[in-house]
Structure 1
């Protein structure tokens, strides 16, 4: 979305509300895509683990050095970054709305986009 604070200040209330709504919808769509990608990555990791030979440590090492897993992990980190940037835009729009005296928009305090991938990766590998 990438909105400028100056542009937000000059928008009418209706335009500002529309921008907030559009940004929240885009956030929800991107979050779903990111979470789906995360689940697919977990599935690929699990499939590689089950199909691998050797002990747990050896199988985990094969997964960790896999180029396919590394590429998918990088894509996931990029998706999370884009989600974080969109969340910053949503927060900026919310600030402008509050500055105008309206109450803060509801629904903006759910799961934050800034979850660390390390947290999720540690959860994924904890089951292996």
Structure 2
């Protein structure tokens, strides 16, 4: 691939990553809203309400969709990272804005686990 094609592929992969991340975060917020709505709309103690939410088929289905979206997002992140590595390996400057904002929560959770174990 030429440098121009490589940079175009990098740009396209980043665009897809940002779109998927936005969609995933939107679904995550919707799921949290549904859980909160179910919690406030149900009766009983906190434990009973949380158990009702946990066994809800709708919540389970949406949670699975969210996990699948997170997996797709992680795969796109790997693609972006690999293209970035190839660009740096060839000696071309990495496009601006390629670091920082694209770490997923699973990455930060893993980093937190590592810090806790140190």
Q: Which runs of 5+ in 1 are unaligned?
A: 1-10, 120-128
TM-score (norm 1): 0.79
TM-score (norm 2): 0.85
Q: Which runs of 5+ in 2 are unaligned?
A: 110-118
Partner of 2:113: none
Partner of 1:50: 40
- How many residues align? The count is 106
Partner secondary structure for residue 107 of structure 1? coil
Partner of 2:23: 33
Whether 2:75 is the aligned partner of 1:85: answer yes
Q: CA RMSD in A?
A: 1.2
Q: Please, which moves more after superposition, 103-112 or 25-34?
A: 103-112
CA deviations 1:65-92 (Å, max 9, x no partner) are 1111011001000000000000000001
Q: Distance in 1 between matches of 2:81 and 2:95?
A: 10
